[in-house]
Amino acid sequence: MNISTTKLLTTFFPVSLLSISISSSLIAGESTYDPTTQGVYSVVTKEYKIVDAEANPNDPNNPFKALKFKEEKLLPEGLKVSPYSEVEGVTYFPEGQSNLPVVLLLHGRHPVCSETMQWPCPEGETVIPSYKGYEYLGKHLASRGYFVVSISSNGINAYDNYEVMDDRGKMARSLLINHHLSLLYSANNYGASSQLGNSEKGRELASAIQGKLDFQRIGLMGHSRGGEGVLQYAEFNAVDNQLFDVDAVMLIGSVNFNEMSLTKASLGSILPYCDGDVSNLGSARIFDKTVESEKTYPHYQWTFMGANHNYFNTTWSPGTYDIQTADDWSLTYSNSILVKIVNNYLEKNPEALKFFEKNQNAGRKLIFESAALDNDLEIADPHCGGITVQKSENTKPFHYLGGIMSMYSKLYDEGREKNGLRRLDSLMAKVPNGRFSEEKTRNEAKKYITAFFDKSLMNLAENEQQDVNTILTLKDDSSNNTVLQSASQLTNEDIKVSYYQPEGYEFELDPSKDTHFNHEGIEFNFFKKTQTNDVFLDISEGFKVGFNMLPHVKRIQEDKIFPVETISKILLKINKKDGYYERNLNNIDLSNFNLLSIRMLNHPTSHSENPFQVQLTDYDNNSKTILIDEKELRMLPGNVTDSSQKLPKFLHHDVIINLNDFKGIDFTQVKSLKLIFDGGEANTYSISRIAFTK
């Protein structure tokens, strides 16, 4: 925390600032670093709630209103924020330990009440506790020596799509984060006499944590719209010395309405490939912009190839909670299901067609209220899966479609109470595909989030640093693969990684400079910062591209040609066997580097079974060639003929090679790097980055 924080919080943190080490002795039963292993500490769980904002949201003493007033100077001119929000959270921390780094978790936008999006919830409705959906992560981190707080933002969620907020709640969430950190900081100093002590639960928590938290080490995690909230808060650190310093920011399926980046902290980001909510994977551009502008901290991006949006939060998942839950990927098929239902009805009732054409809304209502399904309807992508709407003689399609069209829909059924809700998982029959289960989604998230925060916030021993780097980059730089084999390791078919190491830890090449290539075997194009979308994609005739397929591109219109930003540096079109691209390295010393990373995109016209080789040559003309696993080169999965399914994604990821594999090379004088394409059929690759890293 900056020294001038005293202006806001009155006093300094009184506890020793010495960091603790998360050495192997802290992890039960393991001598090798493993982020999935439960820690040795017993975990304490305590909740707190400062003001009953739900009972009286217009109370002038509501702390969120006071926060807005006190920190008005932090708000850009004209920005509107939520009039109020609850101040409520749940904490997890190791019993009897001190000097604990602080990790704050912030959920995203989700239904706030069992039937409505109002705040406070109307009488008789159930409040949906989204903030409790990360208990699995909070308890795991706490067992390993962290203080974790997960905060509620239902009051913001209820209003962030309306005029009260011009930025989809980004600033309001940032202010809410600061308020919670301020309360905890005060409790750390003053215990039960702090503001946190104005309720029985708050006093218990304040007394338990007094003098035990280390506000010099702070990590934030934001899911969905919570991602922009934690980014906004972290960015304020760079310009306003009244806020707490943030060391690490973790995103899960984050939105990117405001085209954000991170400049003063480490970044970790999980992209759920089968995300049915933030289906454009717009946070890929957060990573792109951060890597382009920030050279001080490490940054990581992991694409979970089988994950959806909701399963990271147990309160949003149908297997662990009963209200307003769904497999969000299946919701993406609602329009296709609707079209099939309507067409099926009109085929059997041609007299209704004219009525339907004149008044579609009334026509749909007529169909939903009168038609029954003759057959099961199934729509599915071969990788992410889909849904089956089952035939039923007694249940009309509307009863299914209400749940499919919207997580907030009310389902009408004569056999149920009026406006009663039903769980949506019963509507969804999975087909064989690459999807992650709820359990696997959370286990793998827990692993990467823990490793990321350990690297950023803990004082790791040297061998542990090597192990955590192996996990975060999904590549072992030694002959010992025990780290990768532990911790329920994903394979390169389950996850795609992109990463950037700070200055001094990597040597990055400009792929467009000091190059030559086989003119007969390869067509070589340089990319400008801005290209027309047809050049950027280089898509074969007949392939229709939807916006949701383009994570690296700001929103574009289908079938339009106009400039878009691209991260690609070069386009390689391989026309025949023995095409190659060569980059002159000028006898550089690479002896201190461990990995070679090539960030690239394979195009739909390519054939992944064609050999792709990487060759290094030293000053004495010793050469070593490595064959890349064809699994690394496959185009990302999806139905390439139907853009309405939002797949495949045109997403760059890193092909990572251990430099130890280049046996016989003198790494003190490396002359050149060559990419050799030895296939007989055409392949097309975009390359955005080539780097040697430690």
**pLDDT one-digit tens code per residue, 307-351:** 999 999 999 998 899 888 888 887 776 656 666 666 666 677 777
545 vs 451, which has greater pLDDT? 451
Q: Please state at what angle helix 170-190 crosses helix 200-209, rounded to 10 degrees.
A: 70
- For 59-73, 87-101, 141-155, which range has the lowest pLDDT when averaged over its residues? 59-73
- Residue 570, CA distances (Å) to 245, 523, 565, 599 in order: 38, 10, 14, 11
- Backbone φ, ψ for residue 229 (5° rounding): -65, -45
Highest mean pLDDT range out of 69-73, 83-87, 155-159, 619-623?
619-623
With a CB cutoff of 8 Å and minimum separation 6, the contacts of 13 are: 1, 185, 188, 189, 213, 214, 215, 216
The whole-number pLDDT of residue 677 equals: 79
The pLDDT of residue 303 is above 80: yes
Cite the DSSP H helix spans in 434-542: 438-457, 462-473, 482-485, 533-537
- For 21-30, 178-187, 376-385, 446-455, which range has the lowest pLDDT when averaged over its residues? 21-30
Least Cα distance to 300 among 454, 410, 152 occurs for 454
The whole-number pLDDT of residue 359 equals: 64
CA dist., res. 27 & res. 13, Å (int): 28
The whole-number pLDDT of residue 388 equals: 62
- Residue 62, CA distances (Å) to 85, 159, 164 in order: 9, 17, 18
114 vs 421, which has greater pLDDT? 114
238 vs 571, which has greater pLDDT? 571
CA dist., res. 535 & res. 352, Å (int): 46
Judged on CB neighbours under 10 Å (0-12, 13-18, 19+), 663 is: exposed
pLDDT tens digit string along 133-180?
Answer: 999 999 999 999 999 999 999 988 987 876 556 788 888 898 889 889
pLDDT tens digit string along 256-273?
Answer: 998 899 988 999 999 999
- For 111-125, 432-446, 512-526, 637-651, which range has the lowest pLDDT when averaged over its residues? 512-526
CA dist., res. 476 & res. 470, Å (int): 5
Is the bond preceding residue 611 a cis peptide, omega within 30 degrees?
Answer: no
Place of tokens 């972290």: 234
How much is the average pLDDT of 113-133?
Answer: 91
- For 17-21, 144-148, 277-281, 500-504, which range has the lowest pLDDT when averaged over its residues? 17-21
Tell me, rounded to whole angstroms, the distance of Cα 651 from its chain centroid: 14
Place of tokens 């009109």: 346
* Domain architecture of the chain: domains with CATH: 3-33+44-316 (3.40.50.1820), 328-427 (no CATH), 508-693 (2.60.120)
Is the bond preceding residue 63 a cis peptide, omega within 30 degrees?
Answer: no
The whole-number pLDDT of residue 618 equals: 97
The pLDDT of residue 283 is above 80: yes
Helix H, strand E, coil C: the string for 402-424 is: HHHHCCCCCCCCCCCCCCCCCCH
The answer to whether the beta carbons of residues 106 and 226 sit under 8 Å apart is: yes
The whole-number pLDDT of residue 525 equals: 64
CA dist., res. 363 & res. 62, Å (int): 47
- Residue 56, CA distances (Å) to 86, 87, 154 in order: 10, 13, 15
H or E element that contains 141 = helix 135-143
Q: What rounded mean pLDDT belongs to the chain?
A: 75
Judged on CB neighbours under 10 Å (0-12, 13-18, 19+), 324 is: buried
The whole-number pLDDT of residue 510 equals: 81
The single-letter code of the amino acid at 514 is: D
Q: Which two tokens mark 437? A: 């289960």
61 vs 637, which has greater pLDDT? 637
Judged on CB neighbours under 10 Å (0-12, 13-18, 19+), 623 is: middle
The pLDDT of residue 74 is above 50: no
How much is the average pLDDT of 412-440?
Answer: 49
Q: Which two tokens mark 546? A: 């939807």
The answer to whether the beta carbons of residues 160 and 82 sit under 8 Å apart is: yes
Q: Which two tokens mark 332? A: 């993406």
How much is the average pLDDT of 252-258?
Answer: 95
Q: Which two tokens mark 318? A: 């149908």
Return the percentage of the chain with pLDDT > 90, whole number. 38
Highest mean pLDDT range out of 67-71, 82-86, 675-679, 690-694?
690-694
CA dist., res. 107 & res. 552, Å (int): 24
The answer to whether the beta carbons of residues 648 and 543 sit under 8 Å apart is: no
The whole-number pLDDT of residue 128 equals: 96
509 pairs with which residues across the strands? 690
The pLDDT of residue 544 is above 70: no
Least Cα distance to 333 among 370, 283, 279, 372 occurs for 279
CA dist., res. 200 & res. 349, Å (int): 65
419 pLDDT tier (thresholds 50, 70, 90): very low
CA dist., res. 369 & res. 190, Å (int): 62
The answer to whether the beta carbons of residues 656 and 689 sit under 8 Å apart is: no
The pLDDT of residue 56 is above 50: no
- Backbone φ, ψ for residue 413 (5° rounding): -155, 130
The pLDDT of residue 585 is above 80: yes
Q: Which two tokens mark 141? A: 């981190």
Sheet containing 266-272: which strands, arranged edge to edge?
Answer: 43-49, 88-94, 147-151, 100-106, 213-223, 248-252, 266-272, 299-304, 495-500
What DSSP string describes 191-225? Answer: GGGSGGGGSHHHHHHHHHHTT-EEEEEEEEEEETH
H or E element that contains 360 = helix 360-370
Q: Which two tokens mark 578? A: 């023995």
What DSSP string describes 579-595? Answer: EEEEEEEEEE--TT--E
H or E element that contains 6 = helix 6-9
CA dist., res. 443 & res. 455, Å (int): 19
Judged on CB neighbours under 10 Å (0-12, 13-18, 19+), 123 is: exposed
Could you give the 3-state DSSP secondary structure of residue 93?
strand
